[in-house]
Structure 1
Amino acid sequence: MEMLLWLIFSLIIFQRFGELILAARNRKWMLSQGAKEWGSNHYYLFILLHALFFLSIIAEYTFTTFVFQPIFYPAVFLFIVLQGMRIWCISTLGKRWNTRILVLPEEKPISRGLYKYMKHPNYVIVFFELLVIPVLFHAYATALVFPFLHLMVLTVRIPEEEKALKERI
């Protein structure tokens, strides 16, 4: 079981680094198309939050006794569903998907995929990932703390994003 957990953890870390590389590539493309970046002064909060999230999982998993719980299987299922939704969001936005706030002038917000049903589906998905991923590793304190830290960061992020979409250069 321990080998499986480290494999899952490694895959999640690999995925997140891949997303940062994709975001950097998309950012470069968007800026070349005349996009304006907003809210860069709070971006470090997301990096800090996610770095501490993974360190917290490692610490909690390492310093507590792992006891396999049947909740592992529903958590894996939810994690897989959330990954599908995450990929759906990324593919819907295409080159416009980013971890930063970038807005192309005169372009309307995307309103298909999950964005047809809600304004910020990726933030909802991340909230639930921050709840579900730690459960896989028996890191219940992390599962309680980090979704709410994410909500606190979003109290800065979402108003900035809404402002950027309204002002659109």
Structure 2
Amino acid sequence: MLLYALLIFATGGERFVELGVSSRNAAWAFARGGVEFGKRHFPFMVILHTSMLVACLAEVFLLQRAFTPWLGYPMLVIALASQGLRWWCIGTLGKRWNTRVIVVPGLPLVNKGPYRWFRHPNYVAVVAEGIALPLVYNAWITALVFTVVNLVLLLRFRIPVEERALAYGLAKSGVTG
């Protein structure tokens, strides 16, 4: 259980690093006329993702979940791969990456890195991690609840917000399609 707790705390630490990168990138975007979309859902997203980490620990410790190697190790690989995909997205977008939806008008769409294959690869990472990270240590209730809430209540709003933001950015750049 101690190693799992360290994994969850490391994931939480990684989120703080992301927020630092995001904050710097937001300042860069706003200095260049960036426009933010979907401000209202952002606090809910932060609460949901933070709650998932807390719930992972709570479920494992309070319900005394046991580590099951045949499930835990593959889920650990998926959780770590999702982090790799997340940082590939961050690296590919560079200063344009953000936890918020901020578009700098006139910049073209990014179509390299994971964006060659997926329109929203960061959400592939989020969904994979939301399932895998809790299941590393059999926190199946957390995996189920986070996945359902994330898909039904959050991504249902977040992805259309990003699509509108991208359309706005394309319109401002004079690109159609």
Per-residue CA deviation, residues 32-67 of structure 1 (Å, 9 max, x unaligned), is: 111111111111121111122122112211211232
Quote the residue 1:88 is aligned against: 88
Q: Which amino acid aligns with 2:52?
A: F
Quote the residue 1:164 is aligned against: 165
Q: Which amino acid aligns with 2:92?
A: T
TM-score by length of 2: 0.90
| Cα distance in 2 between the residues matched to 1:164 and 1:100 | 11
Shift of 1:68: 2.0
| Cα distance in 2 between the residues matched to 1:81 and 1:14 | 17
Quote the residue 1:27 is aligned against: 26
Matches within 5 A, 1:9-158: 9-70=8-69, 71-152=71-152, 153-158=154-159
Q: Aligned-pair RMSD on alpha carbons?
A: 1.2
1:3 lines up with 2:7 in the alignment: no
| Cα distance in 2 between the residues matched to 1:105 and 1:38 | 12
| Cα distance in 1 between the residues matched to 2:9 and 2:42 | 24
TM-score by length of 1: 0.94
| Cα distance in 1 between the residues matched to 2:155 and 2:79 | 21
| Cα distance in 2 between the residues matched to 1:64 and 1:74 | 22
Q: Which amino acid aligns with 1:13?
A: G
| Cα distance in 1 between the residues matched to 2:65 and 2:127 | 24
Query: Structure 2, unaligned stretches of length 5 or more?
Result: 173-177
Identity among equivalent pairs (%): 38
| Cα distance in 2 between the residues matched to 1:151 and 1:68 | 27
Which has the higher mean CA deviation after the structures are superposed, 63-72 or 107-116?
63-72
Per-residue CA deviation, residues 84-139 of structure 1 (Å, 9 max, x unaligned), is: 11111110001111011111111111110010111101011101100000012321
